[in-house]
């Protein structure tokens, strides 16, 4: 058969749309989507015919190839429809050992919490309705009291993320004047978020004081003029200066700020509520300490060490929080009902430290004991070995990290399963792990893939093994 005649062998769209096999797809995905997919699949076959040139293959071979493909056309359409229907954002398995992994969605949410969140967001809620007063209420009301109780602050609110908190605070309270900040705290947080740029964006003028390694109280005092609108302290959460250093604590700055009636603000970044020393990590300043030290406002992320939803939480003096709540930017940066519901549930857990450590996945993972990690790693190792795949599997001690720009120098001793493929390269294996239906992430160290069990759930081990079986 001639190439030009082959086109006529292809069925038309209308006939395919009437195909009995595709009727259930039309029901499920809608007629337009099915039609579009059919057109796409027919287009591929047409392209295959049109690209045929005299040479490597005879026209006869092309005809045979086409006739083999045609009976599978409806299956191809079905497959494509299924593929199209699969959401782009999907769960993944985190074997990197980095607990707060920004690329992998930062803090995971407790499943029980999620069920409660679902019951709120799937219908209507009292999001902005005060049931007791019988009138309009504030979305912050659901967690403001909790935040005050937990941190000792007078008032609280939350915006979209902590970068937004910093921008809002500076725009509302420091615009048109100077903001005094230590040289050593002019940091870049990541994703182009640099403190000097945010200051400029807010319309406040930066007055950097001290030096990179040393800033003293006198440096701050000397920099204060009648145009000073704010003293800002930024927790240098993602880097550490060691050696010949000096910085001024909130407790020392508070009397200075009070003397000149200037608001003292601290951006804590991670905002821990529980002391991490209980997990053998070094002391990370807590929000309670900052408030007790005399900060007028403290802001921090909802999805870093707090272990909640993405949010920028702001706590502090009522007179400043009131100004923030009324600022037009607040409307642009406001949190939605998902966040409100999730924040309230996470904060409630902190009413008891024991409950927080047990029920907040981030803290739960930080706090996993050696016994737990060794037991899990042995289990995964055993299961992978039992599958008889062409890989070499062994146990390997490793180090987990908190991540999310918290505790940059600290690692937590952990246990990993090391995988060395026998027939493909490690980079190839890693690539294939990323393309599983539940993508899997590990770390390549010394030509092996390490899966750190600290950030994995033993409930997923069966799935991990079956996905490795599919790959290999
Ligand atoms: C992470 C961080 C931020 C930004 O917080 P997001 O919630 O990621 O927007 C701001 N300041 C500091 C000090 C941080 O560590």
Cα torsion through 416, 284, 107, 195, rounded to 10: -120
Same domain, 204 and 335: yes
Per the DSSP assignment, residues forming a β-bridge with 263 are none
Q: How confident is the model at residue 215 (pLDDT cuts 50, 70, 90)?
A: very high
Share of the chain above pLDDT 90, in %: 81
**What is the structure's pLDDT at 91?**
97
Show which of 359, 392, 415 is a domain's final residue: 359
Give the three-state DSSP class for 406.
Answer: strand
The answer to whether residue 393 scores a pLDDT higher than 90 is yes
Same domain, 129 and 248: yes
Q: How confident is the model at residue 245 (pLDDT cuts 50, 70, 90)?
A: confident
User: Cα separations (Å) of 346 from 187, 297, 323?
Assistant: 29, 21, 26
Same domain, 281 and 202: yes
Same domain, 79 and 216: no
The answer to whether residue 3 scores a pLDDT higher than 80 is no
Cα torsion through 377, 383, 384, 388, rounded to 10: 150
The mean per-residue pLDDT over the stretch 318-342 comes to 98
Per-residue pLDDT tens over the stretch 226-241: 999 999 999 987 777 8
Give the three-state DSSP class for 168.
Answer: helix
Per-residue pLDDT tens over the stretch 106-146: 999 999 999 999 999 999 999 999 999 999 999 999 999 99
**Of 426, 425, 429, 454, which is closest to residue 440 (Cα–Cα)?**
429
- Ligand 1 centre and the CA of 187: distance in Å? 11
Say which range, 85-89, 170-174, 218-222, 363-367, has the weakest mean pLDDT: 85-89
Q: How confident is the model at residue 392 (pLDDT cuts 50, 70, 90)?
A: very high
Same domain, 164 and 225: yes
Q: How confident is the model at residue 66 (pLDDT cuts 50, 70, 90)?
A: confident
**What is the structure's pLDDT at 271?**
85
Same domain, 381 and 290: no
Which residue has a Cα nearest atom 3 of ligand 1?
Answer: 269
Helix ranges restricted to H, 350-405? 353-359, 361-366, 370-386
Residue 301 in any domain: the answer is: yes
**What is the structure's pLDDT at 57?**
78
Residue 376 in any domain: the answer is: yes
Q: Is 405 in the pocket of ligand 1 (CB under 6 A)?
A: yes
**What is the structure's pLDDT at 110?**
97
In the chain, what's the furthest Cα-to-Cα distance? 95
Same domain, 21 and 129: no
Residue 59 in any domain: the answer is: yes
What is the residue range of 65's domain?
3-85
DSSP states of 8-27: GGSPPHHHHHH-HHHHHHHH
Q: Is 271 in the pocket of ligand 1 (CB under 6 A)?
A: no
- In whole angstroms, give the CA distance from residue 393 to residue 380: 10
Residue 216 in any domain: the answer is: yes
Q: How confident is the model at residue 444 (pLDDT cuts 50, 70, 90)?
A: very high
**What is the structure's pLDDT at 59?**
82
Residue 195 in any domain: the answer is: yes
Q: Is 110 in the pocket of ligand 1 (CB under 6 A)?
A: no
- In whole angstroms, give the CA distance from residue 135 to residue 27: 45
Say which range, 54-58, 133-137, 160-164, 179-183, has the weakest mean pLDDT: 54-58
**What is the structure's pLDDT at 7?**
87
Same domain, 339 and 256: yes
Ligand 1 atom closest to 235 (CA): 13
CATH number, position 139? 3.40.640.10
Structure tokens of 422? 């026998």
**What is the structure's pLDDT at 238?**
72
Same domain, 279 and 160: yes
Burial of residue 106 (number of CB atoms within 10 Å: 0-12, 13-18, 19+): buried
The answer to whether residue 72 scores a pLDDT higher than 80 is yes
The mean per-residue pLDDT over the stretch 165-178 comes to 98
Q: Is 396 in the pocket of ligand 1 (CB under 6 A)?
A: no
Show which of 326, 359, 392 is a domain's final residue: 359
Residue 472 or 376, more confident: 376
Residue 106 in any domain: the answer is: no
**Of 35, 48, 57, which is closest to residue 6 (Cα–Cα)?**
48
Task: Number of helices (H) and strands (E) in the chain: give both, helices first.
Answer: 21, 18
How many domains, in total, are found in the chain?
3
Residue 296 in any domain: the answer is: yes
**What is the structure's pLDDT at 380?**
98
Pocket test for ligand 1, best of 163, 166, 184, 201 (most atoms within 8 A of CB): 163
Residue 21 or 166, more confident: 166
Mean pLDDT across the chain: 94
Show which of 320, 339, 359 is a domain's final residue: 359
CATH number, position 414? 3.90.1150.180
Same domain, 421 and 282: no
Same domain, 297 and 157: yes
Same domain, 211 and 342: yes
Ligand 1 atom closest to 191 (CA): 8
The answer to whether residue 99 scores a pLDDT higher than 80 is yes
Q: Which residue has the tokens 């954002």?
A: 89
Pairing, β 312-316 against β 297-301: antiparallel
Residue 14 in any domain: the answer is: yes
């Amino acid at each position: 058969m001639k190439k030009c005649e082959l086109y006529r062998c292809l069925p038309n769209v209308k006939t395919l749309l009437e195909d009995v096999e595709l009727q259930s797809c039309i029901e499920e995905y809608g007629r337009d989507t099915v039609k579009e997919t059919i057109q796409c699949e027919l287009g591929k076959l047409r392209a295959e015919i049109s690209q045929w040139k005299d040479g490597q293959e005879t026209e006869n071979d092309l005809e045979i190839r086409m006739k083999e493909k045609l009976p599978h056309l409806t299956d191809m359409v079905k497959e494509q429809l299924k593929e199209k229907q699969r959401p782009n954002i999907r769960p993944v398995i985190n074997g990197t050992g980095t607990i707060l992994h920004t690329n992998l969605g930062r803090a995971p949410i407790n499943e029980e919490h999620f069920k409660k969140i679902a019951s709120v967001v799937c219908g209507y809620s009292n999001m902005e309705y005060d049931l007791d007063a019988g009138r309009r209420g504030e979305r912050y009301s659901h967690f403001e009291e909790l935040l005050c109780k937990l941190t000792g602050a007078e008032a609280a609110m939350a915006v979209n993320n902590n970068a937004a908190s910093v921008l809002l605070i500076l725009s509302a309270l420091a615009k048109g004047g100077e903001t005094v900040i230590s040289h050593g705290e002019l940091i870049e947080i990541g994703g182009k978020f640099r403190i000097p740029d945010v200051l400029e964006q807010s319309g406040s003028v930066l007055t950097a004081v001290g030096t990179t390694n040393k800033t003293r109280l006198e440096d701050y005092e000397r920099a204060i003029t009648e145009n000073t609108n704010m003293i800002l302290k930024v927790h240098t959460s993602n880097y550490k200066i060691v050696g010949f250093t000096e910085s001024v604590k909130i407790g020392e700055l508070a009397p200075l700020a009070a003397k000149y009636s200037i608001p003292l603000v601290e951006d804590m970044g991670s905002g821990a509520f529980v002391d991490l020393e209980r997990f053998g990590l070094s002391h990370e300043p807590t929000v309670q300490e900052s408030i007790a030290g005399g900060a007028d406002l403290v802001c921090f992320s909802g999805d870093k060490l707090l272990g909640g939803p993405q949010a920028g939480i702001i706590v502090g003096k009522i007179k400043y929080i009131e100004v923030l709540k009324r600022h037009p930017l607040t409307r642009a940066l406001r949190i939605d009902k998902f966040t409100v519901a999730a924040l309230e549930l996470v904060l409630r857990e902190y009413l008891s430290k024991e409950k927080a450590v047990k029920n907040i996945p981030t803290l739960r993972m930080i706090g996993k004991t050696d016994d737990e990690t060794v037991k899990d790693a042995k289990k995964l190792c055993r299961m992978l070995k039992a599958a008889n795949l062409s890989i070499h599997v062994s146990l390997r001690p490793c180090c987990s990290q908190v991540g999310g720009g918290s505790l940059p120098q600290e690692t937590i001793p952990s246990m990993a399963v090391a995988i060395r493929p026998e027939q493909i390269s490690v980079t190839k294996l890693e690539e294939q792990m990323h393309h599983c239906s539940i993508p899997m992430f590990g770390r390549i160290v010394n030509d092996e893939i390490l899966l750190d069990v600290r950030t994995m759930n033993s409930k997923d081990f069966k799935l991990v093994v079956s996905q490795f079986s599919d790959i290999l």
